[in-house]
Amino acid sequence: MEVYHLYSGGKDSSLAAWILQKLGYEVKLVTISFGLLDNWKYAKETADRLGFNHEVVVLGREILEEAAEMCIRDGHPSNAIQFIHEKALEEIASRKDVERISDGTRRDDRVPFLDLRRTRSLEDRFNVQYIRPLLGLGYKTIRELAEKLFIIEIRESEKLEKSDYEVELRHLLRLRGIDPLTIFPKRHYQSRVLGWKKQDL
Amino acid sequence: MEVYHLYSGGKDSSLAAWILQKLGYEVKLVTISFGLLDNWKYAKETADRLGFNHEVVVLGREILEEAAEMCIRDGHPSNAIQFIHEKALEEIASRKDVERISDGTRRDDRVPFLDLRRTRSLEDRFNVQYIRPLLGLGYKTIRELAEKLFIIEIRESEKLEKSDYEVELRHLLRLRGIDPLTIFPKRHYQSRVLGWKKQDL
């Protein structure tokens, strides 16, 4: 049972990958890049340290550009992040060999998040199973599990070496002369997993 | 990490129990009874066969009576099932030694189902983690996992030896001279787990 799991190297997508592996899935980590920066390498490094199979999938630059325009128009990044995430899921789901896709989205997340209608639409259009191991877990449960499993580094988003969509999105905004801090929340802490504390609880 | 998991002996609550165990939780199965019938024994039997710790918790008869009135008033059992499930979760969550509660509710369920507001309210009121291992899984994923893990018997609800709320609710309606088939859907197939096919995938 192979599953292709969208992976940033953060606490949530790492915990979701661990759960999938525990359930017996053969987990293939996938990190999205738009080819603008090489920040995918942080996810790769974490994947290697955790012992997971990992690949980088490059999405078309026009998706990032459309997302940047959404950010500028909206004055906040929610719709842009949602847009990129759906494109990423669709890209993986559309591959011929893929029967199962997954991500680390949580119960308490606002974006990226697929509601029931979009979830079923994704599964039906691409004939895949879309598995979200963290959807039934609250922040306390996720924190408890992640802190037992992983060595985690927590920093402000601007400073963290990380492989999520935000990094290239912020970079593209800067290239267009826009300060990302006018669009992204001022203090937004994010996590990066550095390795295992232990692999079994 | 102990978790108290609401358990009917069906496919969904058995799969959720298996997931919790795989993640390293010490799983305590709890079957609800209103003391009207002894149908809790089917869940106990399945729990024994699967090797899980199991207890029966008796809820006040007035809850079942209120649920029966809801059924009669509504002409369908949705609100009644939701009502009983919330009372069951609250009963377990209110116990002094309980830090984590769980159930087998699914992404595609309409009832019983706690939305985000009710979920957070439950966690905050009783200071517990409420864990739903199946919430991020679609019916295809659940079927694939359950069929690999369990020997499953599928029958119409009226005929199945099972330990869910419906059985005592139907019985109480009959005692009041009401045919449950005027309230419950005509053809409603439910599952009972009879044992392991295998314990690891």
Helix (H, G, I), strand (E, B) or coil at A5: strand
**Chain centroid to CA B141:** 19
DSSP state at residue B82: H
Asked if B122 reaches chain A (Cβ–Cβ under 8 Å), the answer is no
* A157: its two tokens: 């988003």
pLDDT band (50, 70, 90) for residue A124: very high
Average pLDDT over residues A37-51: 96
Interface test with A, best of B2, B5, B23 (most A CBs within 10 A): B23
B28 in Cβ contact with B2 (< 8 Å): yes
When CB atoms are compared, the residue of A22, A132, A201 closest to B136 is A132
Helix (H, G, I), strand (E, B) or coil at B66: helix
pLDDT band (50, 70, 90) for residue B160: low
What's residue B161's pLDDT? 72
Whether the pLDDT of residue A88 is over 80: the answer is: yes
Whether the pLDDT of residue A158 is over 70: the answer is: no
What's residue A163's pLDDT? 77
Q: Which residues lie below 8 Å from residue B162, measured CB to CB, with a gap of 6+?
A: B8, B9, B10, B39, B42, B43, B190, B192
CA distance B180 to chain A (A): 31
Lowest mean pLDDT among B67-76, B96-105, B157-166, B179-188: B157-166
Q: What is the mean pLDDT of chain B?
A: 94
For residue B118, the cross-strand partners are: none
Which of chain A's residues have a Cβ under 8 Å away from the Cβ of B24? 200-201
What's residue A154's pLDDT? 86
Q: Which residues lie below 8 Å from residue A128, measured CB to CB, with a gap of 6+?
A: A93, A98, A99, A100, A101, A122
Whether the pLDDT of residue B163 is over 90: the answer is: no
What's residue A183's pLDDT? 93
Expressed in angstroms, the distance from the first to the final Cα of chain A is 23
Helix (H, G, I), strand (E, B) or coil at B34: coil
User: Which stretches of A23-150 are DSSP H helices?
Assistant: 40-50, 61-74, 78-93, 116-126, 139-149
pLDDT band (50, 70, 90) for residue A189: confident
What's residue B158's pLDDT? 65
Task: Provide the ipTM.
Answer: 0.94
| Interface touch A136/B136, C-beta < 8 Å | yes
Identify the structural domains of chain B with CATH numbers, from first to last.
2-196 (3.40.50.620)
C-alpha dist (Å) from residue A26 to A92, B7, B161: 16, 29, 36
